[in-house]
């Protein structure tokens, strides 16, 4: 069995490799794009997609002469979206409305779209081995209702949204998005912030701001949650982040109920979106 969870908007902020990759510099001649276009227009990609639904290459097979066998266990890809069209993070691009609909239309036409309940049932011993795709959203951004929900209904697609309960109650985005929002509006030039020791950043371009925000989030993730909250508050006071900048970006309970009645599933994304690895054991509910 294999489950892949693919984030479509924000890879782990603690990866320096991703920080560099988040600002791509496209070469004049991209051989990968040429290969992809060749596979698409020759029909090879379509044939490979059809073959992948019924056959697989088992681990340990040779690369020169791969050995195919019929699929024996169900396989799923879980897509993880965040904001659509707009989000609480202004420095990382989210899929546009048109882009999201194009993705949903493609998935509807080419794959078996399943709910997470279907995933659990199939992994528990169902005889159905056809691969499937599950659609999820993290953090509960309001665009899941204003943009994604009508498109999901149009193509009759199931989805699951994971909510941060405190954000729903307050209407404000979680702490890491507040960091991105603060850095996005900070004055250009040199910026100093004390994170247990003085850190100096340069905010002269959008790339600088993205790197700075990722570095701050990375540092804060390594601190106890109470300390992290203090530094987040310090950052917002230092920059003067306006209240309206972090408000009205999260789903309301009325919107959640409307989507739930229409078949959208919901799950918990914790109460306050803490750094779980920094929680004391006594704070874990083991029941």
230 and 242 housed in the same domain: yes
Query: Can you name the residues that pair with 138 across neighbouring β-strands?
Result: 162
Domain range holding 241?
175-246
Q: How many domains does the chain have?
A: 2
> Which residues have C-beta within 8 Å of that of residue 214, sequence separation ≥ 6?
13, 19, 22
- Say if residue 65 is in the same domain as residue 204: no
Same-domain status, 242 and 116 = no
CB burial readout 57-66, b (16+ within 10 A) else e: eeeeeeeeee
CATH code of the domain containing 34: 3.20.20
Q: What is the pLDDT along the chain (287 residues), one digit of tens a residue?
A: 444 444 444 444 443 333 344 445 566 667 778 877 887 788 777 777 776 666 666 666 555 666 767 766 778 899 999 889 865 566 677 889 999 999 999 999 988 999 999 998 888 877 777 788 999 999 899 999 999 999 999 999 999 999 999 889 988 888 888 898 889 889 999 988 888 888 899 999 988 998 999 999 999 988 888 888 888 888 988 888 877 666 778 999 999 999 999 999 999 988 888 887 777 766 555 43
258 and 160 in a common domain: yes
User: For 23, which DSSP code?
Assistant: S
To which H or E segment does residue 231 belong?
helix 225-239
The answer to whether 235 touches 182, Cβ cutoff 8 Å, is yes
d(CA 232, CA 176): 9
């Amino acid at each position: 069995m294999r489950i892949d969870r693919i984030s479509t908007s924000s890879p782990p902020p603690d990866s320096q490799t991703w920080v560099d990759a988040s600002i791509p510099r496209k070469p004049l001649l991209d051989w990968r794009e040429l290969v992809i276009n060749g596979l698409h227009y020759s029909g090879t990609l379509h044939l490979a997609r059809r073959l992948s639904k019924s056959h697989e290459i088992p681990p340990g097979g040779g690369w020169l002469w791969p050995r195919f066998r019929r699929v024996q266990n169900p396989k799923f890809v879980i897509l993880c979206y965040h904001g659509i069209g707009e989000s609480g993070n202004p420095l990382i691009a989210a899929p546009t409305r048109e882009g999201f609909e194009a993705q949903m239309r493609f998935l509807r036409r080419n794959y078996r779209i399943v709910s997470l309940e279907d995933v659990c049932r199939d992994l528990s011993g169902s005889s159905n081995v056809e691969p499937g795709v599950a659609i999820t959203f993290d953090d509960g951004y309001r665009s899941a209702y204003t943009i994604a929900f009508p498109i999901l209904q149009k193509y009759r697609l199931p989805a699951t949204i994971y909510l941060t309960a405190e954000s729903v109650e307050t209407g404000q985005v979680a702490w890491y998005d507040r960091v991105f929002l603060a850095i996005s509006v900070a004055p250009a030039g040199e910026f100093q912030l004390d994170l247990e020791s003085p850190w100096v950043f340069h905010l002269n371009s959008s790339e600088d701001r993205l790197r700075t925000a990722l570095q701050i989030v990375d540092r804060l993730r390594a601190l106890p949650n109470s300390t992290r909250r203090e530094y987040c508050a310090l950052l917002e006071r230092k920059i003067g982040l306006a209240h309206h900048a972090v408000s009205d970006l999260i789903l309301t309970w009325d919107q959640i109920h409307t989507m739930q009645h229409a078949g959208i599933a919901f799950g918990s994304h914790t109460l306050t979106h803490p750094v779980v690895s920094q929680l004391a054991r006594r704070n874990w509910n083991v029941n």
